[in-house]
C-alpha cells in the first residue's frame, strides 16, 4: 500500500471521515434508536477492544482519513474511554464525539487533553417530562446542565434533535429560540427507519415542513442561509443577529449523498457504507486473522452505492427497510 492510496468509491467520492461506534450499549432508551425490549446482548469477544479500535483507526488514517468522530450507543460508557481518546489524539486527525450528554461533566478535562473542540449532544425535547418519556430515563436536567458546561468551556456544541410528528415537532421554534440566545448549532434530523423503532411516513417531519414552520414564525427576511461546507450533511441557517444557528439533516426527503465522505465502523468492527445499507464488511474478523484489512477497506468503499444504500425510492407508502440492526447497534 503506497502513501498515495486514497479511499475512493466508484463515483469518485473520496472518504476522509470515519465514525467509530465504541459500544452498542447506552444509558438512555430513546424509542427511535433502541427497541423497547433493548438489544440482544452478545459476548464481549464480538466487539472491538480498545487496542483494536486504535489499530483500525491507524489503518484508516494511513489511507487518508483526517477526521474521526466517536459514537455509540453512548461512547462515554465504554470502558477505557479516556485511554481511547488519548491514543486517538496522537493521530493527525480532527477528533470529535457524539454523546447523549449524561456523563459529559466527568470528561470535560479528558476532552480538552485530547484536543476535542466539537461535541455533539442529542436532546430531543426542551420539556423535561417529554424528554424523559422519549428517553425512558430521567436525565433531562443533567444533560441541559452539561450542555451549558460545554458552552462555558468553549466547545463547539451541536444539539441533535430527531423530529417526530406529534411527539416533539411543536418545539421547532423553541429550539431555534435557544440558538438565538446561546452559541449552539441545533440540528433537526428527519426520523429514519431502523429495526424496532416503529417508523412510518406519517411520523416524518420533512425538511420542507421545518422550513415552512421557521419562515412562518420568524418571517423569511429574518432567516439567513449559511454557506454549507463541501461535505456537510446539514443545511444550515440562522436567525439574524442570533448567537447560534440551526440546520436540517434531511436523509429521507432531501439527501446529501452526492458529497458523502463518511465511513461507519460499528462496535463489532464492521464497515457499513451507509446508515441505510444492508451489507457490511467484517474488518474485526480480518484484523484478528491478520488479513489485509486495508484492501478490505478500499474494496468496501469502492463498492458503495450512489445514494442511501442503494434504496432509490423512499417515496412509496409500502417501503420497508429489511434489516436486523436498530440504530443503537449501527452508530450515529
Q: pLDDT band at 253, cuts 50/70/90?
A: confident
- What's the DSSP call for residue 98? E
Q: Is residue 48 part of a domain?
A: yes
Q: Is residue 201 part of a domain?
A: yes
How many domains does the chain contain in total?
1
Q: What is the C-alpha to C-alpha distance for residues 30 and 22, in angstroms, rounded to an integer?
A: 18
For position 247, which CATH number holds? 3.20.20.70
Q: Over 80: is that where the pLDDT of 286 sits? A: yes
pLDDT at res. 232: 82
Q: Is residue 7 part of a domain?
A: no
Q: Is residue 6 part of a domain?
A: no
Edge-to-edge strands, sheet with 184-190: 223-225, 235-239, 245-249, 184-190, 156-163, 118-122, 94-99, 67-71, 17-21, 262-265, 270-272, 280-282
Q: pLDDT band at 322, cuts 50/70/90?
A: very low
Q: Is residue 2 part of a domain?
A: no
Q: Is residue 93 part of a domain?
A: yes
Q: Is residue 274 part of a domain?
A: yes
The domain in which residue 301 lies consists of 17-330
pLDDT at res. 5: 82
Q: Locate cell 431502523: which residue?
A: 194
Q: What is the C-alpha to C-alpha distance for residues 193 and 327, in angstroms, rounded to an integer?
A: 9
Q: What is the C-alpha to C-alpha distance for residues 181 and 199, in angstroms, rounded to an integer?
A: 33
Q: Of 30-39, 133-142, 283-292, which range is least confident?
A: 30-39
pLDDT at res. 321: 52
Q: Is residue 1 part of a domain?
A: no
Amino acid at each position: 500500500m503506497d502513501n498515495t492510496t486514497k479511499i475512493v468509491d466508484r463515483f469518485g467520492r473520496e472518504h476522509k471521515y470515519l465514525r467509530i461506534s465504541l459500544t452498542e450499549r447506552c444509558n438512555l432508551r430513546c424509542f427511535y434508536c433502541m427497541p423497547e425490549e433493548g438489544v440482544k446482548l452478545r459476548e464481549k469477544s464480538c466487539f472491538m477492544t480498545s487496542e483494536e479500535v486504535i489499530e483500525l483507526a491507524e489503518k484508516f488514517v494511513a489511507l487518508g482519513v483526517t477526521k474521526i468522530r466517536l459514537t455509540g450507543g453512548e461512547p462515554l460508557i465504554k470502558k477505557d474511554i479516556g485511554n481511547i481518546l488519548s491514543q486517538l489524539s496522537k493521530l493527525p486527525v480532527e477528533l470529535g464525539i457524539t454523546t447523549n450528554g449524561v456523563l459529559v461533566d466527568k470528561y470535560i478535562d479528558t476532552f480538552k487533553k485530547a484536543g476535542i473542540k466539537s461535541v455533539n449532544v442529542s436532546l430531543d425535547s426542551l420539556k423535561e417530562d417529554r424528554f424523559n418519556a422519549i428517553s425512558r430515563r430521567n436525565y433531562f436536567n443533567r444533560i441541559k446542565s452539561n450542555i451549558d458546561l460545554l458552552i462555558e468551556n468553549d466547545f463547539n456544541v451541536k444539539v441533535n434533535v430527531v423530529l417526530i410528528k406529534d411527539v416533539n415537532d411543536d418545539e421547532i421554534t423553541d429550539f431555534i429560540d435557544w440558538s438565538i440566545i446561546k452559541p449552539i448549532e441545533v440540528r433537526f434530523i428527519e426520523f429514519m427507519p431502523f429495526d424496532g423503532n416503529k417508523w412510518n411516513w406519517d411520523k416524518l417531519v420533512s425538511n420542507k415542513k421545518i422550513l415552512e414552520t421557521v419562515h412562518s414564525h420568524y418571517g423569511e427576511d429574518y432567516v439567513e442561509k449559511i454557506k454549507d461546507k463541501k461535505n456537510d450533511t446539514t443545511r444550515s441557517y440562522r436567525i439574524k443577529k442570533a448567537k447560534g444557528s440551526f440546520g436540517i439533516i434531511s436523509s429521507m426527503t432531501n439527501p446529501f449523498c452526492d458529497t458523502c465522505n463518511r465511513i461507519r465502523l460499528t462496535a463489532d468492527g464492521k464497515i457499513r457504507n451507509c446508515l441505510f445499507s444492508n451489507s457490511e464488511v467484517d474488518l474485526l474478523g480480518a484484523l484478528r486473522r491478520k488479513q489485509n484489512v486495508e484492501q478490505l477497506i478500499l474494496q468496501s468503499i469502492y463498492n458503495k452505492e450512489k445514494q442511501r444504500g442503494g434504496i432509490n425510492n423512499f417515496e412509496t407508502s409500502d417501503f420497508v427497510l429489511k434489516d436486523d440492526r436498530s440504530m443503537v447497534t449501527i452508530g450515529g
